Chains A and B, each alone.
Chain A
Amino acid sequence: DAKTTQPTSMDCAEGRAANLPCNHSTISGNEYVYWYRQIHSQGPQYIIHGLKNNETNEMASLIITEDRKSSTLILPHATLRDTAVYYCIVMAGAGSYQLTFGKGTKLSVIP
């Protein structure tokens, strides 16, 4: 699976959009981009995933560049409860299904 690079930490003001970048320059054509987050010490929580097109769900939006070498997770109106470590994971469309977590981005939402 392709390696990902994320900033170690970011701050965001409450109510503003949080934009979390991820670089995955070695991504292959059959690899999806997944985002998970871990709030405090809870189990990781799935947020969103995509292959080529931008995706949106009730939690977030995922913007994938045309060359697929990078993506951005957008939390449109960050709340204090969005403070968490966010993981960008690239995984092939077939295989063992295991998730390979990197170090992630620690997002702090500030009142």
Chain B
Amino acid sequence: GEEVAQTPKHLVRGEGQKAKLYCAPIKGHSYVFWYQQVLKNEFKFLISFQNENVFDETGMPKERFSAKCLPNSPCSLEIQATKLEDSAVYFCASSQPSQGPYEQYFGPGTRLTVT
């Protein structure tokens, strides 16, 4: 597609429950990024993929967070045993560096609320 798609739009989980977020990058884009926005202006990079391979995972919390990008499937970000502090909007972005340095196209985000 021509836009990055993210599902679901909203997700509510009780503390300790699992949360799984999905991202379909723009067709033909080989890089996928996940960012977390906790407060209105505070973005945190989590992880990036080049096709199905992890490219940079320096922002991923060591515990509870995992992500995958498998061929012919949406990418996913999974949080095991959610905590209140995981409440945030999670944005996915995709890019194709061969089309110009580092322009990233962002999806609309998934708002995760942990209660």
One of A20-28, A36-44, A72-80 contacting the partner: A36-44
In the complex, the answer to whether B4 meets A43 with C-beta atoms within 8 Å is yes
Chain B residues whose CB sits within 8 angstroms of the CB of A41 once the complex forms: 89, 109
Please count how many residues in chain A sit with their CB below 8 Å of the partner chain's CB atoms: 20
Residues A53-111 near B (CB distance < 8 A) = 85, 91, 93, 96-101, 103-104
With the chains together, A34 CA to B109 CA distance in Å? 21
Are A44 and B91 in contact, CB atoms less than 8 angstroms apart? Answer: yes
Q: Which residues of A contact B4 (CB under 8 A)?
A: 43
A97 touches B41 (CB 8 A): no
Q: How far is it, in angstroms, between the C-alpha of A106 and the C-alpha of B41 when the chains are bound?
A: 10
A99 touches B109 (CB 8 A): no
B33 within 8 A of A: yes
By DSSP majority rule, is chain A's interface helix, strand, loop, or mixed? loop
Cross-chain contact B91 with A49 (CB below 8 angstroms): no
Q: Is the CB of B101 within 8 A of A43?
A: no
The verdict on B104 contacting chain A, using a C-beta distance below 8 Å, is yes
Please give, as numbers and ranges, the residues of chain B lying within 8 Å of A104 by CB-CB distance. Answer: 41
Contacts of B103 in A (CB 8 A): 46, 49
Closest CB in chain B relative to A53 CB, distance in Å: 14
Q: Are A100 and B106 closer than 8 Å at their CB atoms? A: no
- Can you sample 18 A-B contacts with CB below 8 Å? A32-B101, A41-B109, A44-B104, A45-B106, A46-B104, A96-B56, A97-B33, A97-B56, A97-B104, A98-B33, A98-B48, A98-B56, A99-B35, A99-B45, A99-B93, A99-B104, A101-B35, A103-B42
- Using CB atoms and an 8 Å cutoff, list the residues of chain A in contact with chain B: 32, 34, 41-46, 49, 85, 91, 93, 96-101, 103-104
